[in-house]
Structure 1
Amino acid sequence: MWDLSAHYLWWILALLLIAGELLVPGYFMLWIGLAAAAMGVLLWLVPSLGLLAQAVLFAVLAFASCMAYARLLRPRLERSEPGSERLNRRAEQMIGQRYELIEPIVNGRGKACVGDGQWLVSGPDLPLGSTVEVVAVEGTTLKVRPAA
């Protein structure tokens, strides 16, 4: 009734595996699906390939494609840009920056002008207008020292 060539079955399997990747995200089924698609192309080119040879080649291609992803592609995708570890942590981005005090530091507490806002600072007592350098962050308070 249905006269499907074996390479069509591999392509159908590839589509099912890749569609399965949409339901269960990760990477595993996508790369095995690509190996199944490659098997379909290989079987289209060499139609006399036996069933055992197809199974062994598929296993080798699936393993190779998963390893290629894990060793070659994944590390490149996970590489972060310098400074991106502080991307959404505004206070940590201020470490090393210099600001002017808009309120003197008395008993270890004061305020500094940061952009168009004010931040609490802690450090040694300093007069109004002093320039300070941020050395650390503790919650919403900037730890400062006198700028050299």
Structure 2
Amino acid sequence: MIHALAEELGPWGWWLLGLVLLAAELVLPGVFLVWIGAAAIVVGALSLLLWETSFWLWQVQLLIFAALSVVSVFLGRRLLSNGNAVTDEPLLNQRGASLVGRTATLHEPVVEGRGRIRLDDTFWPVMGPDLPAGTRVRVTTSNGRDLTIEAI
């Protein structure tokens, strides 16, 4: 069945698959299908050149397509990743970490190591030594949403 389909579509089947995958990328954006579509188009180009050769069987074409898909996805992710990009706001999506060093007044006393402070418009749970409400404190560390404080 696959052999008959490969023979019927010829080398243009890979081009068709590549274009369908590129169109699917427009519908389902994620910059993933574009690399697999590019691999299909490359196999289609190779098929145009090698179609009449005896070793260019549909199994070989599928293996090359699979290998090119994996390689192109990894290279594409590396090309588009900006993990080492320098930013002017490195703590933009780390709100708790951006509060380290700030000072505040305890809104609720710290009892048994737990209390609350108000920074800007948000109440934050804090951990630290027992202190009465109204004490000025400095945020020393952040662990997710919990902040560790010390009296100043």
TM-score band, normalised by the shorter chain? Answer: 0.5 to 0.7
- Gapped regions of structure 1 (runs ≥ 5): 1-5, 44-48
Match of 1:98 in 2: 102
Distance 1:147 1:10 in 2: 74
Pairwise mapping of residues 1-148 of structure 1 onto structure 2 (< 5 A)? Answer: 9-19=10-20, 22=24, 27=33, 29-39=36-46, 42=49, 50-55=52-57, 58=61, 61-62=64-65, 65-77=68-80, 80=83, 90-91=95-96, 93-94=97-98, 96-103=100-107, 105-107=109-111, 108-127=113-132, 128-137=134-143, 142-146=146-150
103-112 or 117-126, larger mean C-alpha shift:
103-112
Check 1:71–1:111 CA distance in 2 against 1; reply closer, same or farther (3 A cut).
closer
Q: Does the residue aligned with 2:104 lie in a helix, a strand or coil?
A: strand
Distance 1:15 1:38 in 2: 12
Amino acid at match of 1:37: G
Distance 2:128 2:92 in 1: 25
Distance 2:21 2:123 in 1: 51
Aligned residues: 131
8 Å CA contact retained: 1:103, 1:111: yes
* Structure 1 vs Structure 2 CA RMSD: 4.3
Q: Does the residue aligned with 2:115 lie in a helix, a strand or coil?
A: strand
- Gapped regions of structure 2 (runs ≥ 5): 1-6
Check 1:54–1:113 CA distance in 2 against 1; reply closer, same or farther (3 A cut).
same
Alpha-carbon distance, 1:147 to partner? 6.3
Of all paired residues, the percent bearing the same amino acid is 21
Check 1:29–1:18 CA distance in 2 against 1; reply closer, same or farther (3 A cut).
farther
Alpha-carbon distance, 1:38 to partner? 1.6
